[in-house]
Amino acid sequence: MPVSPLRSCRVLLAVTSCFVSASAGAQDEWSAEVSTSSTLTVRGDNRNTRPSGVASLADDDFSVAHNRIDTQLARGEWRAGLQLDGAWYPSSPSPERIALELLQIENGGQLPANYSDADATYFLQQYQRAGDETSNRFRNWVYPAKYYARYSSRHFDVRAGDFYAQFGRGLVLSVRKRDALAGDTSLRGLKSTGRFRAGDWRFALTGLAGSGNPLRIDTASGRHLGTDSSVTPGWLTLTEAGMPQPVGNEFVPRPQASYAPDQLIGAQAEAGAKNLRLGLHGVRLVRFRCDGSDDCTDSFGGSIARAARSINNGSVSVDLPHVGERTSLYGEFAVQSMAHDNGVSLETGHAAYLSANIDLDPVNIDIEAKSYRRFYPLRANIDTGQAREFIGVQYSTPPTTEPVWNDTQFESFNTCVTGGRARIDVSLSRKVLSFLRLARYNTWAETVANESCITVDENLNRVWDIAVGSEVTSDKGRSRQVGRIGTRLDYTDRQMETADGYVSQLSYTEVYVRYDFVRWLGRGFSLQTQGWHRRRHQRLGGPAEPWMQGFTQTALTLAPYGTVAIGIEYDQNPQFPDRYYNASLRYNLDSASSLSLFVGQRQGGLRCIAGICRVFPPFEGVRLNASLRF
């Protein structure tokens, strides 16, 4: 249940004091490390308001204090940890305010002097919509985000509680901490690994079982994921103890869970010799089955993968780290089967992934290739209608072969695709490197709905992506200049008609420049400028005309004390504001503790990290963070 801010502080301080005291009382046996990250964010009007756009006003004018305390204990081969997350909202938008602002927009920017029946009807409609939208937002919570106990020795490792795991290259399973965008998803249960040798061979056997555990609070929107007893039968009652729950209000008196924890069981067997490593990987995901009660959401659906009752992933991998003296190879082949209760039938999916590195000093060639057919990420069982901000939560990440920052694999691009990329690096000297990147893909699921992966020309998009660049270092590596210029061409084998009646085979085109320049100034000072500037044109789903988008940031660093930076962002897409200005300051208290301040604006829109994407609202306000470790 929601907790008061005062109680939140008492809980966090009590837990911290307990662990620190335990460490002080037994310094000869136990070691403890406590880190805390506290962020106060005050959001203003982010300038994305739309007529009748309740959601565009719900992300304005609220403040949140987010605190994370992470405590780690260690003694010999034993480890234990607890991470408490808390959020408190000193201010938040009310349904009344949202409805009044929308009524004001509806009447040309001013509230009417005398309200008509139409005004009253419109206000009540928006008032109800705003109440629905904010029913699972801006709730004060403190909850055990992560906890674990671990025993680790040379031959055996067992972990109870929260853990991360990746099998192979992520086709079958990839549950790990990524970043603020992709989140921090773990499994909560049991994981064990045994290792042994037989002659020149080394073997490792891993087994795991647990339920999915994404972070439950999205501070960018104030939204939380809620579970309750209707979706946590059996042992899930224990693993979900203390986690955020759905909370009713006058608009939604009987709220339903927005997340039903997925149950996963998996195993991995690995064998390796000097020049050969083999792997066998398997995972089964089981969705919650509804008990038929009125408070139970049977299936959150939203996609064929999220609606599946169960999904089985399996793969075999071969790693050849030394093929001769200059080449390394890795290959993995995976299959996927799904079961649905509604009669949906989908053929078994499959995926093949290959990577190779060839060292021909001074030339280095890096190659990645993939071929996926009906192969989907393991999407979390989230009601995206209630919690759209968590749509990217998943338990596997099939490699994209693209740069991690790529955001132009639209829709289901990576579920029905063949292609790859090659990067050629040429060392012109010890300090100068030039590179060429060439990528080519055929995808049958980018501009059409094609869950069955029917590979006919009517569904086909052909993609070329080419970039050239260089990297120059100097001042004993303390100065660095990295730049690239590239283009992407995405076209179909059919004529497409846009909303304005234009007919073309071009789906998406882009020309871009990326750079990161660091100049050492001496006496601990360095100056850094980085940016990304793009000319984009998206025929379907984008503006009618090409638009420019990008950012540049300049930072002055005094090592080891801190950094001050200013930034400018711009976006000519008429769906978003066109200019954003910001400044930031970071002061390092020591190597592990810092204070940082961000003031200004930041553009929103689609952002992707390694193929995991979500739409962020623009930001305008102040963010203060303190990260401490002791």
Greater confidence (406 vs 418) lies with 418
CB 419 within 8 A of CB 369: yes
CB 358 within 8 A of CB 327: yes
* Segment 30-44 mean pLDDT: 96
Return phi, psi of residue 182, to 5°.
-80, -15
Q: Which has the closest alpha carbon to 337: 326, 345, 325, 327? A: 345
The pLDDT-based confidence of 182 (bands split at 50, 70, 90) is: very low
What do you get for the CA distance between the two ends of the chain, in Å?
31
Report percent pLDDT > 70 for the chain.
Answer: 91
- Residue 23 pLDDT > 60: no
The full 3-state SS of 142-173, as one line of letters, equals EEEEEEEEEEECCCEEEEEEEECEEECCCCCE
The pLDDT of residue 113: 86
Please report, as a single letter, which amino acid is at residue 563.
Answer: T
| β-pair type (263-272, 78-91) | unpaired
Give me the residue label for tokens 């320049």. 517
Distance CA 442, CA 460 (A): 7
Mean pLDDT is lowest, of 20-24, 354-358, 550-554, for 20-24
3-state secondary structure of 325: coil
The pLDDT-based confidence of 302 (bands split at 50, 70, 90) is: low
- Residue 15 pLDDT > 50: no
CB 61 within 8 A of CB 49: no
CB 517 within 8 A of CB 544: no
The pLDDT of residue 294: 54
For 228-242, write each residue's pLDDT tens digit: 999 999 999 999 999
- Residue 207 pLDDT > 70: yes
The pLDDT of residue 5: 40
Quick one: how far is CA 313 from the chain centroid? Answer: 21
3-state secondary structure of 583: strand
Mean pLDDT is lowest, of 7-11, 166-170, 317-321, for 7-11
- Residue 245 pLDDT > 50: yes
The pLDDT of residue 499: 64
- Residue 607 pLDDT > 80: no
The pLDDT of residue 611: 59
The pLDDT of residue 591: 92
The pLDDT-based confidence of 205 (bands split at 50, 70, 90) is: very high
Peptide bond into 560 cis (omega under 30): yes
The pLDDT of residue 610: 59
Q: What stretches of 324-460 adopt beta strand conformation (E)?
A: 327-339, 349-360, 363-373, 416-427, 432-443
3-state secondary structure of 342: coil
Distance CA 100, CA 78 (A): 57
Greater confidence (325 vs 278) lies with 278
Distance CA 403, CA 415 (A): 18
The pLDDT-based confidence of 296 (bands split at 50, 70, 90) is: low
Report percent pLDDT > 90 for the chain.
Answer: 77
The pLDDT-based confidence of 540 (bands split at 50, 70, 90) is: confident
| DSSP code string of 440-455 | EEEESSSSS--TT---
CA distances from 415 to 347, 407, 604 (A): 13, 15, 26
- Residue 516 pLDDT > 50: yes
The pLDDT-based confidence of 69 (bands split at 50, 70, 90) is: very high
Return phi, psi of residue 133, to 5°.
-65, -40
The pLDDT of residue 452: 93
| DSSP code string of 226-284 | ---GGG--TTHHHHTTT-------SS-SS---SB---EEEEEEEEEE-SS-EEEEEEEE
* Segment 274-293 mean pLDDT: 86
- Residue 392 pLDDT > 90: no
CA distances from 352 to 260, 313, 411, 496 (A): 31, 13, 21, 31
* Segment 519-539 mean pLDDT: 96
CB 496 within 8 A of CB 507: yes
CA quadruple 105, 111, 117, 123: dihedral sign: positive
Average per-residue pLDDT for the chain: 91
The pLDDT of residue 544: 83
The pLDDT of residue 361: 94
The pLDDT of residue 6: 41
Q: Which has the closest alpha carbon to 161: 186, 198, 127? A: 186
Give the helix/strand (H/E) hosting 55: helix 54-58
Q: Which two tokens stand for residue 273?
A: 């010799």
For 466-492, write each residue's pLDDT tens digit: 999 999 999 999 999 999 999 999 999
State the CB neighbour count (10 A cutoff) for residue 151.
Answer: 14
Phi-psi region of 506 (alpha: psi -120 to 50; beta: other; left: phi over 0): beta
* Segment 408-416 mean pLDDT: 94
Give me the residue label for tokens 């050849």. 320
* Segment 594-618 mean pLDDT: 82
The pLDDT of residue 546: 94
CB 320 within 8 A of CB 328: yes
The pLDDT-based confidence of 12 (bands split at 50, 70, 90) is: very low
Peptide bond into 362 cis (omega under 30): yes
CB 287 within 8 A of CB 302: no
* Segment 93-120 mean pLDDT: 93
DSSP state of 428: S
Q: Which two tokens stand for residue 226?
A: 């809620």
